[in-house]
Every structure is written in C-alpha cells, then in structure tokens.
Amino acid sequence: MFPVTSLAREERVSVLFDELAELTGQRNAIDGRIVDLVAEIDRDQLWAAAGARSVAGLVAWKTGVSPARAQTIAAVAHRYDELTECVAGLTRGQFSLDQVGAVAERGLPGCDSHFATLAQCATVAQLRTALKMQPRLPDPDPEPADRDDEDDDGAEAAAPASAGPVASITSTTDEHHTYWHLALPHPEAAAFEAALGSHRDALLADWTQLEPGQRPPMPTTIEAFLRLITAGWDAEAAARPHGQRTTVVVHVDLADTLGVLHGGPLLSDADRRYLTCDATCDVWFQREGQVIGAGRSTRTVGRRLRRVLEHRDRTCVVPGCGATRGLHAHHIVHWEHGGPTEVSNLVLLCPYHHRAHHRGLITITGPAEHLVVTDAAGQALTNASLARTPTTPPPQVAPCRGPTGERAQWKWYNPYEPPPPTTN
C-alpha cells in the first residue's frame, strides 16, 4: 500500500514539474519577444506618439503590468544591443525576465558574457549579490584636487562637490500613523533645524505669556514642525491664490490671432494656447497696434472650481497616465475660442500631456463627462490592456528547469572586472 502511494505521488510531482518547466520556458520566450517589440518602440521613440510619458509608462499601460515590471522590461529593452547573450537566453526560454532585468539594471558595460554564464545556475537573488560585488567605476569628470592635502590654516581640503550626499524623503503608512524619513545634507539640515528652532521659540514665547493656571502643556518639536508647515502653506497660498504656476503677460492681435510675450518674442499658436490655458495670466487684446481691452477675469480657475476638478478627475485624464501632482486645469474648448471656464469644459492634465496636446501630439475633445483622447494617428486611447486571446501557438522552446538552487559559495566566486581602458 505505502510503496504504491509513494510511487504515485512521485509520478504526479514529476508530471507537474515537467509541465511547470515547459510553461516557464514558453513564458520566458514570450517575455523575450515582448522585449524585442519594446526595444523597437524605444529605438524609434514610438511611445511618444501614443501619448505615453516614457517607454516604461507605455509598457505598464498597454500590457497591464505593474510599474516595477514595466521598468524591468524597459531596462532590458534599453540595453538590447549591449546584452546580446542575456537577451538571447531570454528568447530561448533559458533565462527569466527578472534574471536579465537584474543584469540590465545594475550590470556594468561589457558584463554580458560574464552574467550570461552565471545566470545558467544562479537565482535572481544570487545575481543581485554578484552584481553588488562589481567594482565601482571612477567619476568620469572628477574635481581637480588641491596641490596640498591641507591648506595654509591646517584644515583639510574640501571634498569634491560630486561626492556630496543626496537629499531624500520617503514615507510609510500603517493603520494609525504615517512615518516620514527625511535625509538632508548637513547644510540643508542646519537650515531646517534653524527654521524649526525659530518656530519652537515663537511657540514658547506665546506659551510663557499665558497665565500659569491657563497654560497648556509646553510646546513640542512636533507642534513647531506643524507650525512651520502651516506658515509655508499660508505664504504659498498668499503668493498664488489660485494655485497657478506663474504670471504671464500676453498681447494678442485680434486680426491675425498672434500672441507676443510682454517685452518678449512672438509665440507660436501652440505655445500661446499652452501659456494662457492655466496660469495667472494678463491678456491684452490689440487691433492695429492699439490696445482695446483686457481679457475676461473669469478665465482663471478659482480655488473652489479647482477643488471640484480634483475631486472629479483625481489624476491626469489621459488614459494610462495616472499623474496626481502638478496638474494643470485645461480648457477643452480653448478660452480664446470662447470656451467657458466651467466644470464641463475643464479637465486636469499633467504638464507633459498638457504640452503634448497643445503641440498636436494628442487630441482632447469633450465635454468632460464624455471625454475622448486620441493619439497622433487619430486612434482613441483607453485604459484597457491590449491583452487578447492568442491566435498563434506558443513558442517551441526547451523546458526551463530554472536555477540549480545550490547554495552560493561566494569565496570561490570571481566578480566581474571591466577590461582596462585602452591607451595609445
């Protein structure tokens, strides 16, 4: 009884593993073909004609994959002509996209053959470990070093500006709090601490003026930080009451519909519409060189109207974009053509797609409740993925058994070393 059950289980495992290896090889080969197509799109920059902001954005939109997966595909496609052996292994179904993507994202120039050999037995995690062992390339344009290690006062020579730390800000969220992690170089950190200390002192001064029996708990650093945020917010709101980007003064000739910047050059039709679409803008109409009046004051999008647009659109309305910051309020029927500043004639666009529309790369027609966005070829853009039922058989490739799964013995591993530079 037991031997029969054990044998049946082994046969079942063998059948399942064989099918898994066959499907894995076909998946890798299909990913390789996708990389071929994306490389051609990237080479000819066809992603811009479709209204996408980048080739990775086009891949995420058209294939329905995550942005991280799209970045991996774009990274391999960008180095398609350089990583010939790795891409060939992907097309044969031998390597996975994640294996080749790790090499494309972190591999040094000329590492194709080295990591193509290593990928035959190494997992993605092992490949990333090996990639970390690569030597760091020197700065191609280093700052000229001082002649002496120390200056006349005995202080150490200053480090090159390119070696300075990079500022960053990240956040994580749980059920009750949002945690912000702020990394600042020392000069910016000193300015931040000084501003925070100034607001803390102001809160403390107000606190000391209260009667002892009426004083709340002593102000904390958190309250000082929130006061700093509120002060900056109020200052920005006072400077830009409608949330627009800038103030533009444009003179428009009614006879020829020509726009000229105040004290500046002649504007093209696309630039004139772009600048006057969502900005704090003074428009002066002229006829035969004589000023005859100013533009309508209701052209700008007020704060309340913008809140309605943000609640309705949420993101950039171009399908596949999803941008949420720095959005512009765009008139579907342009203001200079009589378009009203109303909810039905306004949509939110990111700066990239706003400029792309005014340059004729994409077309936006309304009203906003039935918006239609088309590319340069006149085809309507949609959020739906391009995935469809296959009409061709799967690739005929060998089954992919995957890496060997052995424990890596890094003490015997020789990291990749780039070849020495050639000298005359």
Last residue in a domain, options 357, 374, 391 = 374
Interval 139-159 mean pLDDT: 45
pLDDT recorded at residue 233: 66
CB 286 within 8 A of CB 317: no
Domain tally, the chain: 3
Establish if 26 belongs to a structural domain: yes
Establish if 294 belongs to a structural domain: yes
Tokens coding 366: 């309304």
Establish if 286 belongs to a structural domain: yes
Last residue in a domain, options 77, 108, 132 = 132
List residues bridging with 329 in a β-sheet: 348
6 vs 291 pLDDT, higher one: 6
Range of the domain at 173: 168-210+219-239
Whole-model pTM?
0.61
pLDDT above 90 for 139: no
CB 323 within 8 A of CB 350: yes
Shared domain check, 127 and 6? yes
Shared domain check, 68 and 45? yes
Residue 95 to residue 121: CA distance in whole angstroms? 10
The per-residue pLDDT for range 192-246, each reduced to its tens digit, is 888 888 888 888 888 888 877 777 888 888 888 888 887 876 666 555 544 444 4
Establish if 279 belongs to a structural domain: yes
Shared domain check, 13 and 126? yes
Shared domain check, 51 and 117? yes
Shared domain check, 265 and 234? no
- Give exposure, 286-295, as e/b (b: 16+ Cβ within 10 Å): beeeeeeeeb
CB 60 within 8 A of CB 385: no
Secondary structure of the chain in HEC code, one letter for each residue: CHHHHHHHHHHHHHHHHHHHHHHHHHHHHHHHHHHHHHHHHHHHCCCCCCCCCCHHHHHHHHHCCCHHHHHHHHHHHHCCCCCHHHHHHHHCCCCCHHHHHHHHHHCCCCCHHHHHHHCCCCCHHHHHHHHHCCCCCCCCCCCCCCCCCECCCCCECCCCHHHCCCCEEEEEECCCCEEEEEECCHHHHHHHHHHHHHHHHHHHHHHHCCCHHHCCCCCCHHHHHHHHHHHHHHHHHHHCCCCCCCEEEEEEECCCCEEEECCCCEECHHHHHHHCCCCEEEEEEEECCEEEEECCHHHCCCHHHHHHHHHHHCCCCCCCCCCCCCCEEEECCCHHHCCCCCHHHEEEECHHHHHHHHCCCCEEECCHHHCEEECCCCCECCCCCCCCCCCCCCCCCCCCCCCCCCCCCHHHCCCCCCCCCCCC
Shared domain check, 254 and 234? no
Shared domain check, 272 and 300? yes
The per-residue pLDDT for range 33-61, each reduced to its tens digit, is 999 999 999 988 888 777 788 899 889 88
Establish if 37 belongs to a structural domain: yes
Establish if 347 belongs to a structural domain: yes
Shared domain check, 292 and 201? no
Sign of CA dihedral 335, 341, 343, 346: positive
Quick one: how far is CA 311 from the chain centroid? 23
Shared domain check, 320 and 205? no
Establish if 388 belongs to a structural domain: no
Last residue in a domain, options 132, 153, 177 = 132
Long-range pairs for 153-156 at CB < 8 Å and ≥24 separation? none
Interval 289-305 mean pLDDT: 58
Tokens coding 235: 């200052």
Q: How confident is the model at residue 289 (pLDDT cuts 50, 70, 90)?
A: low
Residue 222 to residue 50: CA distance in whole angstroms? 47
185 vs 264 pLDDT, higher one: 185
Quick one: how far is CA 196 from the chain centroid? 31
Establish if 313 belongs to a structural domain: yes
Shared domain check, 290 and 201? no
Tokens coding 257: 């519909």
pLDDT above 70 for 284: no
Which amino acid belongs to residue 314? R
Shared domain check, 344 and 290? yes
The per-residue pLDDT for range 167-178, each reduced to its tens digit, is 888 888 777 777
pLDDT above 60 for 182: yes
Shared domain check, 260 and 203? no
